[in-house]
């Protein structure tokens, strides 16, 4: 069960981080176009940054937990 949550969380983080690339970076700018999925308002940007930080912390906790369970002698 934890591995499923960990996998979904990792996919979520990959998608969110790729969508949050700065416009100067041409990596996915041609792919995404000019639609600005996560627009400019600072409050929504702050909320999204908080969600990303929380997701990263949960990802790391689950990664450590899964690793400890796998090394259980």
Across 1-8, average pLDDT: 86
**pLDDT of 21:** 64
What is the pLDDT, as a whole number, of residue 37? 53
pTM here? 0.64
Which backbone phi and psi does 42 adopt, to 5 degrees? -65, -35
- Each domain of the chain, given as residue ranges in start order, spans 2-70
What are the helix and strand counts (H, E) for the chain? 3, 0
Residue 27 has pLDDT above 60, yes or no: no
């Amino acid at each position: 069960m934890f591995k499923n949550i960990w996998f979904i969380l990792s996919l979520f983080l990959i998608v969110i981080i790729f969508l949050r690339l700065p416009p100067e970076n041409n990596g996915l700018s041609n792919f995404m176009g000019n639609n600005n999925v996560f627009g400019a308002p600072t409050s929504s940007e702050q909320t999204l940054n908080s969600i990303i930080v929380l997701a990263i912390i949960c990802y790391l906790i689950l990664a450590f937990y899964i690793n400890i369970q796998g090394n259980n002698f």
